[in-house]
Amino acid sequence: MAASTTLDPELKTALKKVKLGKVIDTLPERLTLARKNKLTYEDLLLLVLRDEIDRRESTATARRAQHAGLDPDMVLERWDETAKVTFDRRVLDELVCLRFIESKRNVVVLGPVGVGKTFLATALGHIACRHRFHVHLTRADDMLRRLKQSRLDNSRDAVMTELTTVDVLIIDDFALEPMTRDESRDIYQLFVERNGRAATIVTSNRDTAEWIATFDDVLLAQSAVDRFVNNAYDLVVEGESYRPRLKPTITGKEQPPAAPITKPDRPVRRRKR
């Protein structure tokens, strides 16, 4: 077994000064590999820099996904292929390549309760984050409450700008309940301003033909829904509930921790003046 390489303290200090401190964790392993394979200095430097580029990309992706509000477990790699649900795989393959974002198209994920609509929409959000797009996921009722509150504190323009300009907006559980006059106007503005300018993903238990009935104003509803639907890919999911597959379980191999977990410390966020 090869002896581990110990880094010179001066080298560590220099790496930190040029903001490459994270390289310290993997550099000893890379130096050992370089000696074993007789890599040139250029090849070693490229290997180390590629490690750092990959690390930064991974960190940035994780940060975008967290900021987007995406469930870290709802990635396409963890989709259970044995689930008794059906959908058009060709449509999903098209969406995974993200051309709908480039062409500023919408996506409608339809199906009954529990078949995995949120999972698939979130998985698309993760893929978009990996490819440097900015994503925001929100439940429809949460978004409407936020917009209602923004009218009270005079922040509506800022909130609406955020919602209309993000690269990919994912609205989960849309059209569950009838909307008020203000809510109908908000959805109308959101759909119209994003249409043809940015990609929007909507999940719903209701067919798009039923969306109009949830608006307070029929004319606004027809205009908004017609624009949105006719610029959207349809991913219809049918079958048994997917949620039991997400249910936490305990296997015989798992052992509980020796002590209860403690909430980790988080840095205090200072308000901007």
Per-residue pLDDT tens digits of the chain, which is 273 residues long: 344 567 878 887 888 888 887 788 888 888 888 888 888 988 888 888 888 877 888 888 899 999 999 999 999 999 998 889 999 999 999 999 999 999 999 999 999 998 999 999 999 999 999 999 999 999 999 999 999 999 999 999 999 999 999 999 999 999 999 999 999 999 999 999 999 999 999 999 999 999 999 999 999 999 999 999 999 999 999 997 776 777 677 776 777 777 787 777 765 555 444
Contacting residues for 202 by C-beta, under 8 A, at least 6 apart: 106, 107, 108, 109, 170, 171, 174, 228, 232
69: region left, alpha or beta (phi > 0 left; psi from -120 to 50 alpha): left
Q: Would you state the pLDDT for residue 56?
A: 80
Rounded to the nearest 10 degrees, the angle between the axes of helix 9-17 and helix 23-37 is 120
Residue 241 lies in a domain: yes
Residue 28 lies in a domain: yes
Residue 221 lies in a domain: yes
Residue 220 lies in a domain: yes
* Closest by CA position to 191, among listed 95, 99, 106, 68: 106
Q: Would you state the pLDDT for residue 272?
A: 44
Q: Would you state the pLDDT for residue 268?
A: 52
| Number of domains the chain is built from | 2
**Chain mean pLDDT for the chain:** 89
Residues 90 and 218 in one domain: yes
170: its two tokens: 């994912």
Residues 24 and 125 in one domain: no
Residue 255 lies in a domain: no
Residues 104 and 18 in one domain: no
Residues 118 and 47 in one domain: no
CA 107 to chain centre: 15
Enumerate the β-bridge partners of residue 168.
135, 199
Q: From CA 140, how far away is CA 171, in angstroms rounded? A: 6
Q: Range of 49's domain?
A: 9-68
> Can you give the pTM of this predicted structure?
0.79
* Closest by CA position to 197, among listed 164, 233, 221: 164
CA 74 to chain centre: 9
Q: Would you state the pLDDT for residue 86?
A: 95
Residues 42 and 89 in one domain: no
Residues 106 and 64 in one domain: no
